[in-house]
Structure 1
């Protein structure tokens, strides 16, 4: 982000590119700069789009579905997917009808029933490397656990999680820099989902999320195969990227701030509050886009139907007008009204599940790898526009014993 000027209509023009390496390395500084100029700016990159960077503006826009549409795409540039990724790329009242199909499977009660499975996975995965005294914690724990749990919920083969992770990561992180690669990954993912759908139809449905989608109806009409596929894609994206990103980001902060780590080691009851603070401080989903649905004024600016806007959740969560000392991690912070999961009709359905997986992984790490430290430089995905996440993080720690079923 290099230049700023006032356009003829009074809007503040900036060169802001959330897909750039500069953003990946300096996202929080750029958020501060955007807010200092104006909470509503306009960037010329990617065909032009509005940028909302303070809490009040992001909150208001996210709740105004008439002015700010989620269909056809929540990305800037727009997604290369051939069909909308539902329900995130839909608008009310369809949004609520789509969400109601699976909402009960992501409730706090349903999440509680999945925690033993998450614990089992954490034990198995940590057993796989704890005797070595080193690992890539992202590749060996924080990515496979959410991925395998997501596949478990969908009734799919957990052992093939690496294929799904590759497709999801390419679809999310390569789409702006290498749309052809992202497109190929998307088509391969579609093909695999189609095979699972055919299997359900030939062998019968089970008590899993994919079967529920295939049997669901909206206003008496079953979802078609495209809708089922795109809904499944969203579940896979949500389960295989953001929770790992949150956990990796938090681990880096605990290495930087050993006193925070020690507090959690000594008082595990702090984990729920720490979870909310890490969600606020290092929000994995940096922002999502909307399409202006009608001509109108917003925050004093004239906006035209068809223009795009990016709602920066992560910038809103560092807004000093709402959060005292926003650049400080404070487990005792009373204000927990962060926007890490969005707000309004599109608030993340999987928020309870994400919190549970994060707490399980952090609890197991603090119990079994309490002295973890970096054994190399963490690497982030090249494109952090939508998801700010670590892709690789080598650590070392005091070796320990295996404790799972395979322990000797």
Structure 2
């Protein structure tokens, strides 16, 4: 918790720092990368720096953490910290790097705010920073300790590469050495690190789209990003037989151990965690009530449609509803051929709307897709009586949910 000395200073200066954090963070990254360009080689995403999402995510996290300390003095924002820690560990962030961040972040704060940063203000915000950093380091050490090995990056060989839609590709990897592998959990992701066009290493996170609990294979499904750095290399250059570096599995939005109803609401390539969860439920013969909801442009663009349809048919208590922007009545026939029956497949035209369907009571909701989609569906779920505490979400790339809320 904040000290009695720091609390009134943070209360007084949070509006100022919050209003300037969007200018402070670009300056911070500029300073840090100038002094430590090696951090762009395999740790920080160059693309996220270029489009500004990393800066927005950092700004949102700092503002959210400071606000929480003021409004909830006896607790820490565990959900926020957990999400950040899982992303950090998937990139191999180490404790010593927090000192580097501190140095250049506070140089940026002092440069931007000038005389407003008195010794008292600097000391108070230093306290906030290290409360957050120390909490993250503790969580990250625990996550590293849970792994079956002490390595950050391990070689995995591509054994299958199959189109999942015109713009997506499913990759299947097997271990390329004898490093013990950690079983994942449905909903978790791995980082993939590869050299891009100029030789710089870049890492991206991809959800385990099937067989998440296996230690013998990793399955991911990626979307081609025209103009991106990593996905074009994955889709166009990486071939069966190639060896790629993967991290251990991480991610805190995972299938719970209960037996209550589930709602899986996804859009676009956000279907990957739902597909992973459905595969696990089907494999284990689950009797849970499952409502899988997916939105896409068309049947052709729906990645993993066959896998999801087949697994829904294998789960006694599951049904699937699909919203397509382009109406395609033949979807019912696809459902029938996938699993021998289409009674549990509902089709809709347009955008996902929870008002159109009955939701199971006391359900846990999992969201994945573009941020506006998740915010809209979350609001619809709450309007239909689902508590916010039972709604979980996964974000591809930096988490801008926090940034948009501050």
TM-score band w.r.t. shorter chain:
under 0.3
Using the size of structure 2 for normalisation, the TM-score is 0.23
* Larger of the two Rg values belongs to structure: 2
Q: Which has the higher strand share?
A: 2
Q: Which has the higher helix share?
A: 1
Using the size of structure 1 for normalisation, the TM-score is 0.23
